[in-house]
Amino acid sequence: MKPTSFDRTDAAAGILFIVLGLIFGWMSLGLDLGSPRRLGPGAFPLILAVVLTVLGLVILAGSLKSEGEELGALAWRGLLFILPAPVFFGLTVRGLGFVPSLFVTTVIAAMASLRMKLPAALALAVVVTIFSTMVFSYGLGLPFRRFGPWLSF
Amino acid sequence: MDLFSNLAMGFATAATPENLFFCLVGVILGTLIGVLPGIGATATIAMLLPITFQLEPVSSLIMLAGIYYGAQYGGSTTAILINMPGESSSAVTAIDGYQMARRGKAGTALAIAALGSFFAGTVATVFVALFAPPLTTIALKFGAAEYSSLMVLGLVSSIALAHGSVPKALAMVTLGLLLGLVGTDIYTGTPRFTFGIANYADGLNFVALAVGVFGIAEILRNLEGEQDRTVLSTKLGALWPSRTDLRAMVAPMLRGTGLGAALGILPGGGAILASFASYTVEKRLSDRPEEFGQGSVAGVAGPESANNAGAQTSFIPLLTLGIPANPVMALMVGAMIIQGIVPGPNVATEQPALFWGIIASMWIGNLMLVILNLPLIGLWVRLLKVPYHVLFPIIMAFCSIGVYSVNSNVYDLFAVAGFGLLGYVLMKLKCEPAPLLLGFVLGPMLEENLRRAMILGRGDPTTFVTRPISLTLLILAALVLVIVLIPQVRRKRAEVFTESD
């Protein structure tokens, strides 16, 4: 990997922490800080937010003094398919029901890999869905509706 | 004697057919997920956590403990067979274990790891039984100020014992503390940082955070460059260690156990440090130091014993003080809270059966590991050959079901995706996720004790330094911080932790 003139990883981390610190700090100021005797809901978060911001500054300052490496490959395809999978499950598990929702969730997740072809993904999802329905719904008796109201005609 | 009657009660609790069954299931599941490359004990437990919530508190914690040992052993298996440690504590095992495997002694290396772990686990269980009760008595005298200071010490030392940059780890702890505060303020009922979403009023779901930051972020990283793993195609070789091997492993095993048991109690998770320390010690003491790195028996037996002993004794701060020493213990705290148990010194007095049952189940879990895994090694090896692109969709499906089943809250699933992204970004920025999780669990506890201490101290912040125990703990925390920041120590620390890379 090509070395960069300053440590970009650390610089990005520092900036991320500063931004998060400022957001939390700003939100804490909107809360009651209370008195020293009776600290309000905003007091402890404000202290932490200040600490986080300062640490972010320290990391950022340190990054300028040292060389670093490039970030390397990003899992774009992974991000695109893996993250929506649980979101889809959340959006549809009540409406579609456990069985169809889990099936589609598994297919979505499987598409994150370049090696996974659609037929194989479908087959895998069938197995996973049957297994999970047996184990979680029938076996452990979790209170899932197997088929939801969206599917009742 | 008290100890024996207590242990007897513990074994009576842990050895009911039901609990034995859950312990067994835990050990098997833990090993099963643990052998998946790149997935360490923490991620494994995070993923399997939701399964245990349907059980009775005792059974669920026993099963979790089983998952923990199983996952650790699974981690050692991948470390030895494909040089891919799931967790930093088994990174040391990979050094010599993998070399042994390359020389056709994979079976022996696995057996040595299992036997060393079992021995260390047995000794450490006795250690926990001996030391937990007196510590509980001390802990009962702790007030809010002492608790706050103790948590600060725990958080600070978790940084010292983890690897990576110190300011980054501190920032991760702080961020974790902040995330832990999301939700309704306990004193005033004010919603904090919820962005007006009522479903987050009870706080962010702990399981969602753990699964996202450890599980999903890990999957994303593994998807970065999809490449085939090279599983050793060579035969496992003889399983049972030869006489010479056995003789070579006894002393390192004993030393490793001692080291691990002592370091494991330290707040901040000594198990990782213990395995590194044990490796260094064995290398120093050995009359053939040149063998280390080439497949030395002592290099596997010592660290594996230290690792397991430390894993066991890290239950002590959890059971006595309610303070998690490492991310796995943080997961345990989360599980206990969900089960309605408030971790802390009261557990031992109010729920002795639970307390001693867990201790006894540690030993039973370790025994099951040895009995199970030696014959099943062949199966685990075959599992390693299952391609990753088949495994991760299954993991994703189970994660989704698991997180949803905790509270039937769909917002938890959105949080998983969010934390997965956050975890992946932080991982890319070389920030270790473990301190974040520790901070997240301790955040509400720390705030509550801090505020209570301020009320009791009539608004005078000097209450933390005028009470002797609290002052001592704070001085220790400051010392730890100063020590890790001293340039020589910093360099040495970097050296110790990179030796495995």
Q: Are residues A7 and A61 in the same domain?
A: yes
Tokens found for residue B248: 């070579």
The rounded radius of gyration (Å) of the Cα atoms in chain A is: 24
Task: Give the model's pLDDT for residue B501.
Answer: 39
What is the average pLDDT across B34-45?
Answer: 72
Q: d(Cα B483, Cα B234) in Å, to the nearest integer?
A: 46
Percent of chain A with pLDDT over 70: 93
E-state strands within B96-148:
none
Q: d(Cα B405, Cα A136) in Å, to the nearest integer?
A: 9
Q: Are residues A40 and A93 in the same domain?
A: no
Higher pLDDT, B68 or B487: B68
What is the average pLDDT across B301-317?
Answer: 84
Which residues, 6+ apart, have CB-to-CB distance to B272 below 8 Å? B87, B88, B89, B161, B162, B163, B310, B326
Q: d(Cα B258, Cα B282) in Å, to the nearest integer?
A: 13
Work out the burial of residue A145: count CB atoms within 10 Å of its CB; fewer than 13 is exposed, 13-18 middle, 19 or more buried: middle
Contact B413 A89 (CB under 8 A): yes
Q: Is the pLDDT of residue B485 over 80?
A: no
Q: How does residue B495 score in pLDDT terms, banded at 50, 70 and 90?
A: low
Specify the amino acid at residue A52.
L
Range of the domain at A19: 3-69
Q: Are residues A58 and A96 in the same domain?
A: no
- Cα within 13 Å of Cα(A88), Cβ side: 18
The CA distance from A70 to the nearest CA of chain B, in Å, is 10
Q: Are residues A14 and A53 in the same domain?
A: yes
Q: CA nearest A83 in B: which residue?
A: B417
> Contact at 8 Å (CB) between B31 and B74?
yes
Mean pLDDT of chain B: 81
Percent of chain B with pLDDT over 90: 5
Task: Give the model's pLDDT for residue B289.
Answer: 75
- Count the domains in chain A: 2
Contact A52 B224 (CB under 8 A): no
Question: Measured between alpha carbons, how far is residue B272 from residues B35, B161, B170 in Å?
Answer: 18, 8, 18
Q: d(Cα B313, Cα B358) in Å, to the nearest integer?
A: 12
Q: Are residues A34 and A60 in the same domain?
A: yes
Q: d(Cα B143, Cα B468) in Å, to the nearest integer?
A: 12
What is the average pLDDT across B247-261?
Answer: 85
Q: Are residues A85 and A112 in the same domain?
A: yes
Tell me: the pLDDT tens digits for B103-136? Answer: 778 888 888 888 888 898 888 888 888 888 888 8
Tell me: the pLDDT tens digits for B323-359? Answer: 777 777 888 888 888 788 877 777 777 888 888 888 8
Q: Are residues A81 and A135 in the same domain?
A: yes
Q: d(Cα B302, Cα B282) in Å, to the nearest integer?
A: 7
The CA distance from B48 to the nearest CA of chain A, in Å, is 13
Contact list in A for residue B174 (CB cut-off 8 A) is 48, 51-52, 55
Q: d(Cα B225, Cα A71) in Å, to the nearest integer?
A: 13
Tell me, rounded to whole angstroms, the distance of Cα A150 from its chain centroid.
28
Q: Is the pLDDT of residue B374 over 60?
A: yes
What is the average pLDDT across B137-142?
Answer: 80
Q: Is the pLDDT of residue B441 over 80?
A: yes
> Contact at 8 Å (CB) between A75 and B220?
yes
DSSP per position, chain A: --EESS-HHHHHHHHHHHHHHHHHHHHHHTS--B-SSSB-TTHHHHHHHHHHHHHHHHHHHHHHHS-EE------HHHHHHHTHHHHHHHHHTTTT-HHHHHHHHHHHHHTTSTT--HHHHHHHHHHHHHHHIIIIIIIS-----SS-GGG--
Nearest to B256, CA basis, from B307, B316, B297, B208: B307
Phi, psi of B184 (to 5 degrees): -75, 135
Helix (H) / strand (E) containing B183 = strand B183-184
Dihedral of alpha carbons B204, B206, B212, B213, sign:
positive
Tell me: the pLDDT tens digits for B209-221? Answer: 888 888 888 888 8
Phi, psi of A39 (to 5 degrees): -60, 135
Contact B181 A94 (CB under 8 A): no
Q: d(Cα B476, Cα B177) in Å, to the nearest integer?
A: 21
Window 37-66 of A, Cβ < 8 Å to B: 37-45, 48-49, 51-52, 55-56, 58-59, 62
Least confident of B248-252, B273-277, B399-403: B273-277
Domain ranges within chain B, ordered by starting residue: 2-498
Tell me: the pLDDT tens digits for B185-203? Answer: 878 888 888 777 777 777 8
Tell me: the pLDDT tens digits for A107-140? Answer: 999 998 888 888 999 999 999 999 988 887 887 7
Work out the burial of residue B112: count CB atoms within 10 Å of its CB; fewer than 13 is exposed, 13-18 middle, 19 or more buried: buried
Task: Give the model's pLDDT for residue A4.
Answer: 58
Task: Give the model's pLDDT for residue A89.
Answer: 93
Nearest to B175, CA basis, from A43, A29, A54: A54
Strand partners, A106: none
**Torsion on CA atoms B152, B154, B160, B165, rounded to nearest 10:** -60
Q: d(Cα B399, Cα A152) in Å, to the nearest integer?
A: 27
Q: To probe the interface with A, which of B151, B173, B175, B186 has the most A CB atoms within 10 Å?
A: B175
Contact list in B for residue A59 (CB cut-off 8 A) is 165, 167-168, 171
Task: Give the model's pLDDT for residue B499.
Answer: 47
The CA distance from A149 to the nearest CA of chain B, in Å, is 17
Tokens found for residue A42: 């905003």
> Contact at 8 Å (CB) between B217 and B423?
yes
Contact list in B for residue A85 (CB cut-off 8 A) is 396, 400
CB pairs under 8 A between A and B: 199
Give me the residue from B171, B404, B420 closest to A56, CB to CB: B171
Q: d(Cα B146, Cα B152) in Å, to the nearest integer?
A: 10
Q: What is the ipTM of this complex?
A: 0.91
Q: How does residue B423 score in pLDDT terms, banded at 50, 70 and 90?
A: very high
Task: Give the model's pLDDT for residue B163.
Answer: 63
Other CB atoms closer than 10 Å to residue B204's CB: what's the count? 22
DSSP per position, B187-213: TT--EES-TT-GGGTT---HHHHHIII
Dihedral of alpha carbons B174, B177, B181, B187, sign:
negative
Q: d(Cα B32, Cα B34) in Å, to the nearest integer?
A: 6
Other CB atoms closer than 10 Å to residue B195's CB: what's the count? 8
Q: How does residue B442 score in pLDDT terms, banded at 50, 70 and 90?
A: confident
Q: How does residue B286 score in pLDDT terms, banded at 50, 70 and 90?
A: confident
Tokens found for residue B232: 């050793």
Higher pLDDT, B328 or B394: B394
Q: Which residues, given as ranges, of chain A have pLDDT below 70? A: 1-5, 68-71, 153
> Contact at 8 Å (CB) between B22 and B62?
yes
